[in-house]
Chain A
Amino acid sequence: MLSFIARRLGLLIPTFFGVTLLTFALIRMIPGDPVEVMMGERRVDPIMHAEAMERLGLNKPLYAQYLDYIGQLARGDLGESLRTRESVWSEFLTLFPATVELALAALLFAGSLGLIAGVVAALKRGSLFDHGVMGISLAGYSMPIFWWGLLLIMFFSVGLGWTPVSGRIDLLYDIEPVTGFMLIDSLLSGEEGAFLDALRHLILPAIVLGTIPLAVIARMTRSAMLEVLREDYVRTARAKGLSPARVVFVHGLRNALIPVLTVFGLQVGALLAGAVLTETIFSWPGIGKWLIESIGARDYPVVQNGILLIACLVILVNFVVDILYGLANPRIRHQK
């Protein structure tokens, strides 16, 4: 198991450099530069422009800029935002819990519902329920997030008035950020109704963000279950006289979870990408919205390092999934 972890860790280094190179190059391929954005749309004085570029180190050749950037990273310095002069790290830390809260809620929604729907569809293969689940999940998978989000807002928020349109909590409440998680903070604040209000704010964005993972997990669970239920060891389990529930969950689902877990890990990356859209639609103050605004402002340090942080996060999650995969599958764990 230790060598398994060590090998996985070794793979992280090239991935890390790949990400720095990509974000560095991509943001510079977009026309326009930070100075132009800062000085406004009107004609920029070339001398002032050049001075600002020099001050920011943006007049050096690209390779030198990249080396500066790597050197900065090596010192553990993520730089500061060109717009706000705040350090990228502290901005990230402030906004990150909001995204985590949203992503966790979405994963909880997608994971629990997806597993149940997938297992039941597999057990009742060919039934109306099965066809229904598969049809709906195909629709869910193909759904453009921004359109789906707007549709739900129109229906539930505007039409029925059940949920708020945007934000994390009503402005009525003044919640002290202790953990950064609004659900927890609102409970800690002791303000009456704050928790329920935060929950109501969370539901729609979580559903929107969780829709695609839900569809993927339901379909994956179904096909993995169908495959596993045909296995000889499931027949063996039944021949032992075990209850159907034990056969399905202990002997079936345990093995079906192995591919589902992989998909689950991959969905975390998709989830953070989806968060960019979802947060923008719902004005959710998380890192997705932060990045979109920074790209608009050509805020190079924020975009580079924000994406780097997200990439690290995805790498980390996949790493954890790899380890879980090893735990779930003894054949991987014992590989030499």
Chain B
Amino acid sequence: MSLLDIRNLSVRFGDANAVPVVDGLDLSVDKGEVLAIVGESGSGKSVTMLALMGLIDPPGVVSADSLQFDGTDMLRLKGRQRRRIVGKDLAMIFQDPMTALNPSYTVGFQIEEVLRQHLGLKGKAARRRALQLLERVEIPAAESRLDAYPHQLSGGMSQRVAIAMAIAAEPKLLIADEPTTALDVTIQAQIMELLLDLQREQDMGLVLITHDLAVVAETAQRVCVMYAGQAVEVGVVPGLFEAPAHPYTEALLKAIPEHSLGARRLATLPGIVPGRFDRPHGCLLAPRCPYAQSNCQAQRPTLEPQVRGAVRCFYPLNQEVT
């Protein structure tokens, strides 16, 4: 059984007529698997994971057939029961490390807080463990950093601290929401390497939300491509990269600058993600899709299983390869 199994997840902000930010999403992650979620800004990647964590506040409404995590339906859990899992077995790190840490407390305090909450560690034992964690995330002079405040750390350091906090209770699934977007390029690679090391070492599931397809190609086993709140293609690496089935996936891959070497202009997908007032009746990509046919405008395709994965398109590409 998969570690995480999301069935028909929808998130709306407002009443039932509001346009869903996440629309009927199915997603699964196996134990020890690295799943990447890619897609443009606003495609619902982060909201999906925030919904799983129970961090969507009113007027946001989360509905799903099930949000199975490690045998428990997170959707049915209330308050205290949910908080026993969140932060312990299910942990998350965020995009901007400089604002993700509380400026008023030391690094040590913020890590020890998790240890106390979920493992019942106190005093010296908690401090010792916090130190080990800082060393594990390769922070130099870890001992002295325990008493440092977030503003005394660089972005990369802060993200390491955030990672230490997230792995403090040895989670089964770690969600990393664009963990390197706010960092320098040189630091990005180090942080990714650290995350993957930890993932292998602890055999955790890792959900990696990212824009960086190169990172996906190197690290993920499976990819979920999201567009306007829907999963448009789910596939394995490298299959999805070699033969994308969905026109949107193909467009994303073409948009990688290296693929436009020699060309005068970078390849782009014209248009923007549909908003709440211009949501197409049929396929959500139809207005931007170079392959769109007449029935694409009228009907909405469903996510159909393929040989290795699934695609939401009436006319999937590269079918001869698979």
Contacts and interface: CB of A to CB of B under 8 A. Distances in A.
A5 to B, nearest CB: 19
A45 to B, nearest CB: 69
Interface residues of A, number: 21
A330 B103 contact: yes
A235 B165 contact: no
B149 A330 contact: yes
A248 to B, nearest CB: 13
B149 A331 contact: yes
Interface stretch (B1-9, B18-26, B89-97, B202-210): B89-97
Interface stretch (A6-14, A200-208, A238-246): A238-246
B104 A254 contact: yes
A23 interface: no
B300 interface: no
Interface in B137-169: 149, 151-152, 162, 165
B319 to A, nearest CB: 41
B165 A232 contact: no
Interface string A220-259: 0000000000011101111111111000000100110000
A236 B177 CA distance: 12
Identify whether the interface residues of B are mostly helix, strand, loop, or mixed.
helix
Nearest to A240: B87
B82 to A, nearest CB: 8
Given A241-B87, A242-B113, 11 more contacts: A232-B96, A233-B99, A233-B100, A236-B162, A239-B94, A240-B117, A241-B117, A254-B102, A328-B104, A330-B104, A334-B151
Nearest to B98: A232
A232 B100 CA distance: 5
A329 interface: yes
A11 to B, nearest CB: 24
Contact of B102 (A237, A239, A243): A237
Interface of A: 231-233, 235-244, 251, 254-255, 328-331, 334
A312 to B, nearest CB: 31
Interface in B51-105: 53, 55, 79-80, 82-88, 91-92, 94, 96, 99-105
25 contacts: A232-B94, A232-B96, A233-B99, A233-B102, A235-B55, A235-B100, A236-B100, A236-B102, A239-B53, A239-B92, A241-B82, A241-B83, A242-B83, A242-B87, A242-B113, A242-B117, A243-B80, A255-B102, A328-B104, A330-B104, A330-B149, A331-B103, A331-B151, A334-B149, A334-B151
A312 B310 CA distance: 75
Contacts of A331: 103, 149, 151
Contact of A241 (B101, B118, B151): B118
Contacts of B87: 239-242
B176 interface: no
B114 interface: yes
Nearest to A254: B104
A240 B166 CA distance: 8
Contacts of A255: 102-104
Q: Which 10 A-B pairs have the closest CB atoms?
A: A241-B87, A232-B99, A240-B87, A241-B83, A330-B149, A233-B102, A241-B86, A232-B100, A236-B100, A239-B92
